[in-house]
């Protein structure tokens, strides 16, 4: 029988690394090669680097404001968050051999963050890569849904992030069938079809797990009730009401739905970084970003797609870029596929005053020659998606190197919102 584990949680390195990179045991200055000086006793003092450190001060301020409101709530309310995770290390035959020890650093930081802010955090684990893993994960999600003392559920993806159809045989899905077909090159065939039919996507097993989480406990905002095309196009619902200035706890600024944490973290940071022409809090909600053009290099369901909707529903024009296509999204989530030669990624970036990049590849870099003066670049990947030394030379550019601190704070914030709406019967 599966038993929940109370030990330190393991996190998904491929996806969650980009969310929590800023929590590694490295200073921001070291990570970005800031200059340093040494005292006679050998103590290393990191010099203040305005290019890196000034925007990160904003990130820390936003994070701390949100966490302070969470701590205020947990003084009088008990919050319980359950994390469900599975190991994903495979041998050459596609069999799971071990847990992902590289994720321990991130999980330790998140555990400490929740503990500091008064949240009870517990991890339930299953072994990954096995045919019965899917059923075990489903059972744990259903169990967490049924437990009244569990106020939030966090599933660490990816578990099975390959196209769902690869695992189907004779009407049944299995991990071994999926792995066999990946090894046989079926995935390459699907990718070729996708290149010919731009914008085509395939559902994954992870999508099924996301919809299993009950809306009253979905701290990630990824189930169908919060995360669908219909929701994205709802201009009144799918927009962050917060004005970037007022108290986070003000009733007027409470949202009516749960947003994915990373997408919302970018929005909250932008509201502190942008000037009044780019984000005008005095305008009505839905028009505050009119006249501002964004390029988002990522169209994932966790980051790019919800982020594009959050921005467009507040008046922005958004170019959504993935590996196979470019989509222009305007106010009201009006979608226009860019098929002309001049609608290139370069042109999108040149036309944008804000670039947000979340490509999980260390080799991917946005050419700085495309980035206009006085623009804002937000990096949401684990490694910089731009050459930072070259970016420094762009006049007036504002560079946010990581958003992880705000992402974690908003994870806690979403838990508070769920508890206040569904579980607080006082």
**DSSP secondary structure, 189-214, as one string:** HHHHHHHHSTT----BHHHHHHHHS-
* Least confident span in 134-143, 173-182, 214-223, 292-301: 173-182
Beta sheet of 293-297, edge-to-edge order? 334-337, 326-330, 317-321, 293-297, 354-357, 376-379, 398-400
Give me the pLDDT at residue 87, please: 63
Burial tier of 320 (Cβ tally within 10 Å: 0-12, 13-18, 19+): buried
| Interatomic CA distance for residues 102 and 98, integer angstroms | 11
CB of 335 within 8 A of CB of 199? no
User: Which percentage of the chain shows pLDDT scores above 90?
Assistant: 51
Residue 114 pLDDT > 50, yes or no? yes
112-133: burial string, b at 16+ Cβ within 10 Å, e else: ebbeebbbbbbbbbbebbbeeb
* φ, ψ at 244 (rounded to 5°): 80, 0
Q: Interhelix angle for 104-116 vs 13-20, to 10°?
A: 50
Confidence of residue 11 (pLDDT cuts 50, 70, 90): very low
pLDDT (average), residues 323-350 = 76
Of 314, 343, 348, 318, the closest CA to residue 330 belongs to 318
Give me the pLDDT at residue 195, please: 66
Q: Which of 97-111, 240-254, 355-369 has the highest mean pLDDT?
A: 355-369
Contacts of residue 387, defined as CB under 8 A and 6 or more positions apart, other chains included, come to 365, 368
pLDDT (average), residues 207-228 = 92
Rounded to 5 degrees, what angle do the CA atoms 327, 329, 333 make? 130
The percent helix, strand, coil of the chain (3-state, each to 5) is 40, 15, 45
Average pLDDT of the residues of the chain: 82
Count how many Cα atoms sit within 13 Å of the Cα of residue 377 in the half-sphere of its side chain.
Answer: 30
Per DSSP, which regions of 2-88 are E strands? 36-38, 44-46, 79-86
CB of 299 within 8 A of CB of 305? yes
Give me the pLDDT at residue 350, please: 96
CA dist list (Å): 354 to 168, 279, 304, 359? 41, 12, 14, 16
pTM of the full structure = 0.82
Sequence length of the chain is 426
Peptide bond just before 158 cis, omega within 30 deg? yes
Of 274, 287, 277, the closest CA to residue 244 belongs to 274
Sign of the C-alpha dihedral, residues 355, 397, 261, 264? negative
Confidence of residue 204 (pLDDT cuts 50, 70, 90): confident
pLDDT (average), residues 326-332 = 85
Give me the pLDDT at residue 100, please: 56
Write the pLDDT tens digit of every residue in 42-68. Answer: 555 568 889 999 999 999 999 999 999
């Amino acid at each position: 029988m599966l038993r929940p584990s109370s030990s330190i949680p393991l996190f998904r390195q491929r996806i969650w690394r980009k969310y929590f990179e800023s929590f590694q045991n490295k200073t921001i200055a070291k990570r970005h090669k800031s200059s340093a000086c040494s005292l006679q006793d050998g103590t290393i003092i990191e010099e203040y680097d305005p290019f890196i450190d000034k925007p990160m001060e904003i990130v820390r301020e936003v994070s701390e404001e949100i966490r302070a409101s969470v701590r205020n709530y947990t003084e009088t309310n008990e919050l319980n968050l359950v994390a469900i995770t599975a190991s994903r290390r495979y041998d050459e035959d596609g069999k799971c051999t071990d847990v992902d020890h590289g994720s321990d650093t991130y999980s330790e930081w998140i555990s400490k963050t929740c503990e500091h802010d008064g949240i009870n955090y517990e991890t339930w684990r299953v072994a990954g890569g096995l045919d019965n893993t899917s059923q075990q994960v489903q059972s744990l999600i259903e169990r967490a849904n049924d437990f009244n003392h569990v106020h939030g559920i966090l599933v660490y993806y990816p578990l099975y992030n390959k196209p769902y159809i690869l695992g189907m045989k004779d009407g049944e899905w299995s991990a071994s069938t999926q792995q066999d077909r990946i090894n046989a090159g079926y995935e390459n065939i699907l990718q070729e079809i996708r290149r010919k039919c731009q914008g085509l996507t395939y559902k994954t097993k992870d999508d099924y797990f996301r919809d299993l989480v009950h809306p009253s406990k979905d701290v990630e905002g990824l189930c169908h009730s919060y995360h669908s095309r219909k929701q994205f196009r709802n201009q009144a619902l799918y927009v962050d009401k917060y004005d970037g200035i007022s108290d986070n706890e003000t009733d007027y600024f409470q949202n009516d739905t749960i947003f994915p944490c990373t997408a919302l973290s970018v929005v909250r940071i932008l509201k502190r970084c942008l000037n009044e022409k780019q984000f005008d809090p005095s305008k009505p909600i839905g028009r505050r970003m009119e006249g501002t053009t964004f390029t988002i290099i990522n169209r994932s369901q966790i980051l790019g797609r919800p982020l594009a909707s959050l921005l467009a529903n507040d008046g922005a024009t958004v170019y959504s870029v993935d590996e196979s296509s470019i989509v222009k999204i305007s106010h009201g989530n009006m979608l226009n596929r860019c098929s002309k030669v001049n609608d290139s990624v370069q042109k999108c970036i040149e036309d944008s005053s804000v670039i947000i990049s979340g490509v999980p590849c260390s080799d991917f870099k946005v050419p700085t020659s495309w980035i206009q003066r006085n623009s804002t670049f937000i990096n949401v990947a684990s490694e910089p998606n731009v050459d930072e030394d070259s970016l420094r030379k762009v006049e007036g550019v504002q560079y946010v190197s990581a958003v992880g601190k705000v992402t974690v704070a908003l994870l806690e914030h979403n838990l508070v919102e769920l508890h206040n709406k569904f579980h607080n019967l006082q």
